């Protein structure tokens, strides 16, 4: 089996060849994911958010000569970094530039109908946050972008400058869970009436102005929740997860494991609900003596509660603080 790349890696003028292109992303809950996958040497494993192949490289190291690893990512920088990192395993690796929402079609095109393990590490990577020009972080002054896939049209600039005040309010309230959403949305609209809000710093300043001083003193950057909300909107993160999680469960072989790492309550709620429903899909009234709806369980949640980072990991990687790992096993 040869290494297959469904992507254009010929742009040598990008930072991919130099030290600046290191996709520095510490893989969160690495040991826990590897243990959770219960890797079979000859199995087929899919990573739907490949990133820098932190999880993927360890999975590959445990595969035998007949094992296969398929990695998907929509970020071209991640594709370049993972390509380099997985070179030692090129006889068993296929990398595809795609959103995990297209996993079923990607696997079908590769002649793969089922997998023995699937991994998703949701949210934004450390590399994306630390690359200022990507516009994900309020720590840099950069154009408002926030696209995980630079081929898509919608950017944070369009959300901030073209959405109505009501739309902004609902995004910040629902995706950022910020209790000052109304004030933030109002002040964004007031500011952009003077001139467009063009940069992350301009947006962060508006958000900071919108939040009472006593709240800002309580810790955490005041722009964190709004930036999260806009990023989720730009990349349709929750919609993609909710729409595709059941299809990915159906891709698993009997005994196959699905490991999902989430970083905020909105994602975790979707995963928990989907896994619980797959474990107990019965819709019969609770007082019925036997099930008559005919819906059969697809498997079980390996742990009732999510797996959390250890104290050691939290010390080494503070960004793992909000991570939760849930694992589902197909029957």
The pLDDT tens digits of the residues spanning 156-188 come to 999 999 999 999 999 999 999 999 999 999 999
Q: What is the pTM of this model?
A: 0.91
Express each pLDDT in 220-232 by its tens digit.
899 999 999 999 9
Mean predicted lDDT score pLDDT of the chain: 92
CA distance 284 to 169: 38
Return the structure tokens found at 28: 């969160």
CA distances for 186 relative to 44, 162, 192, 209, angstroms: 50, 13, 10, 11
Q: What is the pLDDT of residues 38-80, one digit of tens each?
A: 999 999 999 999 999 999 999 999 999 999 999 999 999 999 9
- Give helix then strand counts, H and E, for the chain: 14, 8
13 CB-side CA count, 13 A: 0
Report helix angle 237-250 to 224-235, nearest 10: 60
Domains of the chain listed by start with CATH number: 4-127+238-330 (3.40.50.150), 140-235 (1.10.150.170)
Residue 116 near residue 68, CB atoms below 8 Å:
no
């Amino acid at each position: 089996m040869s290494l297959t790349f469904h992507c254009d890696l010929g742009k040598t003028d990008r930072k991919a060849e130099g030290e600046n292109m290191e996709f520095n992303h510490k893989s969160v809950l690495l040991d826990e994911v590897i243990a959770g996958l219960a890797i079979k040497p000859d199995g087929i494993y899919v990573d739907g958010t490949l990133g820098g192949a932190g999880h993927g490289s360890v999975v590959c190291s445990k595969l035998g000569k007949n094992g296969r690893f398929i990695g998907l990512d929509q970020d071209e920088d991640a594709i370049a970094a993972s390509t380099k990192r997985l070179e030692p395993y090129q006889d068993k690796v296929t990398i595809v530039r795609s959103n995990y929402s297209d996993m079923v079609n990607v696997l079908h095109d590769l002649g793969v109908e089922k997998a023995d393990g699937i991994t998703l590490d949701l949210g934004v990577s450390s590399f994306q946050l630390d690359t200022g020009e990507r516009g994900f972080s309020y720590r840099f002054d950069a154009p408002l972008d926030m696209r995980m896939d630079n081929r898509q049209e919608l950017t944070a600039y369009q959300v901030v400058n073209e959405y109505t005040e009501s739309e902004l309010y609902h995004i910040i309230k629902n995706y950022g869970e910020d209790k000052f959403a109304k004030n933030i949305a109002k002040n964004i609209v007031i500011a952009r009436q003077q001139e467009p809000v063009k940069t992350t710093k301009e947006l962060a300043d508006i958000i900071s102005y919108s939040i009472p001083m006593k709240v800002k003193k309580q810790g955490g950057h005041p722009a964190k929740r709004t930036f999260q909300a806009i990023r989720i909107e730009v990349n349709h993160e929750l919609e993609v997860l909710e729409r595709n999680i059941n299809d990915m469960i159906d891709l698993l072989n009997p005994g196959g494991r699905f490991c999902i790492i989430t970083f905020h309550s909105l994602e975790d709620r979707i995963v928990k609900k989907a896994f619980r429903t797959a474990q107990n899909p019965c819709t019969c009234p609770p007082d019925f003596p036997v099930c008559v709806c005919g819906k059969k369980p697809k498997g079980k949640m390996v742990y009732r509660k999510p797996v959390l980072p250890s104290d050691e990991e939290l010390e080494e990687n503070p960004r793992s603080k909000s991570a939760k790992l849930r694992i589902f096993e197909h029957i």
